[in-house]
Structure 1
Amino acid sequence: MAVGAEEPGADSGAGTGRTWAAVVVGLVLLAAYLLGHGGHLPAAPPPGARSLAAAAADRPPQVYAPHVPLRDAVPLHIDIPSVGIHAPLVGRGLKDGAVDPPPYSTPDVAGWYRDGPPPGASGAAIIVGHVDTETRAAVFYGLSTIRRGALVEVSRSDGTVAEFSVEAVEVVEKAHFDANRVYGSAGRPELRLITCGGAFDKQAQAYSANVVVFAALTGSHPAP
C-alpha cells in the first residue's frame, strides 16, 4: 500500500509485517495537483468524492497569511528541530492509488510526492514517512508530538531552505480520510506531513489512522 502504504518488503525483500493505513488519493485532488506540474489529468473523480469547496470548509483555519511562492526546486532534506526529525527526502509516486512511502529498508528516509507541487511552490506539497518498523522507530516516529507553530524546514536543490509553520495536527481514522480535505490547498504554498497513527491492530498488521500535519510557508533563507 502507500500513504498509503507499501506492503512490508515489497520494495526490498526485507519484510517487517507492518502495513500502512491506506489513504486513497482522490482523483479530483490529483487533477488539481498535477495541473501546471507536468502530470496527466484523470478523466473523472471517484464515486462519492466531495467537492473541493465542501472539503475546504472543513480544513483547519488558516493561521498564517499567504506567503509569496518560491520557484520550483527539488526538496532534499527535512528538519523539524522541535521533535528531533532530520531526514533526507526522496521523490515517490503512487502505488495502488496512494502515495508510496520509501521502503522499510530505509526507515530513516522520508518521501515527497514528486507528481505534485514541491515544497515552497503554490499548492499543498506532500511528505510521507513511516512511524516505525517491526524492530524500531522510523523517520516520523515523533511526528504526532509536533505542536502548532513548530518550524519545519525543507532544504531545496536551488540552495534555499523553505520555512513552514505548523497550523494544525490531526489524527484521522482511515475510514474517514477525506483526500480532498487533506490534500487540497487554499491557493497558497502549504505542506502536509503524513504518517501512521491511532491503534495498531496486531492481527491485521495495520494502524487504524494517519497523523496529518498541516503547515504553511512562512519564509525562506539561503542554505548554510
Structure 2
Amino acid sequence: MRRSTRGGRPSAAALAAAAVVAAVLAALLAWSLWPATAPAPPDFGDRPRALEPGVGPSSGVRDGGRGEARQPSAPVPEPTRLRIPRVSLDARVHPVGVGDDGTAEIPGDAGRVGWYRHGPAPGAPDGSAVLLGHVDDRTGDLGAFAQLYEVRKGDDVTVAREGAPSVRYEVTAREVVDKDRLPDEVFRRLGRPVLTLITCAPPYDREHGGYQRNLLVYAVPVPGHG
C-alpha cells in the first residue's frame, strides 16, 4: 500500500489499494453490536517486519541470503478454511475483493472469513496474506473473529487450501490501532511472509461511524509446513 514516487504523484495502483483499504475498514465498522463497554484486548509481541534482520534493503525478497532476486513463483492455492484450535475458531474462508459499488466485499455471514484476493494468499512465499472478519452481526451474535480477542502468543493457526496441503502459522503478535492508522505493511506484497487477521475493536461510537479501532493479529509460518 505504498505510494509511487515516480513523477511525485501516487500511481493508479497505489490509489486503488488505498481506496480498497478504506472500503475494507468502512465495511468492518458497519457491524456494530459488540458491547460498547467491552475493552480492547492488550497488545503483545512485535509486528513482523518485511525484512529479516541482516537482510539488505530493496524489496527484501532474497534467495537464501545470497542476494539474488527470487524468481516469480507459481500461483498459490486459495484458502478455504481457517482454524485456531485453542480459541475454538473454525471458519470457512471466501475470497473477497471490491464490489461494483467500489466497496469491499465482506462475507455477509459474520461466521465466515474473507481473504483479500488482490494480495498474497496464505502459503505464499512473500508478503502479507490478509484475512478479514466481523466481530459481531446485526442479530447480536458474535462473529468468527470475536475469538481473536482471546488469542495468545504461540497459538497454532491452520489454513486449509483448495487442492493443496494446509499451511501452519504461529501467532507472534497482536495490536490495536486507530481505524485511520492501519499500518502500510499490512497489505504489502513483498518481504517475509506473514498471515494478518483483521477485525474491529472498541471503543464503539455510533455518531462517528461505529468502531473506532481495529484489532490485528499476526502469525508467521511454521518451518517445514506449507
> TM class by shorter-chain length?
0.5 to 0.7
- Give deviations 1:145-164, integer Å, cap 9, x for gaps: 21111111000113311001
Say yes or no: does 1:108 pair with 2:111. yes
Partners of 1:160 and 1:220 within 8 A in 2: no
Alignment partners' CA distance in 1, 2:121 and 2:83: 16
Say yes or no: does 1:149 pair with 2:149. no
Work out the number of aligned pairs and report it. 173
Q: 1:116 to 1:186 in 2, by over 3 A?
A: closer
Alignment partners' CA distance in 2, 1:5 and 1:88: 22
C-alpha deviation, 1:217, in angstroms: 1.1
Q: Tell me which residue corresponds to 1:208.
A: 212
In structure 2, runs of 5+ residues without a counterpart are: 1-21, 34-45, 54-61, 65-72
C-alpha deviation, 1:101, in angstroms: 2.0
Q: Calculate percent identity across the aligned residue pairs.
A: 34
Q: Tell me which residue corresponds to 1:5.
A: 26
In structure 1, runs of 5+ residues without a counterpart are: 9-15, 20-57
- Larger relative strand fraction: 1
- Residues 180-199 of structure 1: pairs in structure 2 closer than 5 A: 180-184=184-188, 187-199=191-203
Partners of 1:18 and 1:205 within 8 A in 2: no
- Residues 41-190 of structure 1: pairs in structure 2 closer than 5 A: 59-60=47-48, 72-94=76-98, 99-103=104-108, 106-121=109-124, 122-134=126-138, 135-178=140-183, 180-184=184-188, 187-190=191-194
C-alpha deviation, 1:220, in angstroms: 5.9
1:172 aligned partner, one-letter code? V
C-alpha deviation, 1:182, in angstroms: 2.4
Q: 1:75 to 1:208 in 2, by over 3 A?
A: same
Q: 1:158 to 1:111 in 2, by over 3 A?
A: same
Q: 1:5 to 1:204 in 2, by over 3 A?
A: same
Q: Tell me which residue corresponds to 2:14.
A: none
C-alpha deviation, 1:5, in angstroms: 3.3
Alignment partners' CA distance in 2, 1:142 and 1:152: 12
C-alpha deviation, 1:61, in angstroms: 5.9
C-alpha deviation, 1:82, in angstroms: 1.6
C-alpha deviation, 1:74, in angstroms: 1.0
Alignment partners' CA distance in 2, 1:61 and 1:89: 25
- Give deviations 1:63-115, integer Å, cap 9, x for gaps: x999x999611111000112111000000003577754212xx1111000111
Alignment partners' CA distance in 1, 2:28 and 2:221: 33
User: What TM-score, normalized by structure 1, do the two folds share?
Assistant: 0.65
C-alpha deviation, 1:143, in angstroms: 0.7
| 3-state SS in 1 of match to 2:93 | strand
Alignment partners' CA distance in 2, 1:197 and 1:7: 10
| 3-state SS in 1 of match to 2:207 | coil
Larger Rg: 2
| 3-state SS in 2 of match to 1:181 | helix
Partners of 1:162 and 1:219 within 8 A in 2: no
User: What TM-score, normalized by structure 2, do the two folds share?
Assistant: 0.65
Say yes or no: does 1:218 pair with 2:186. no
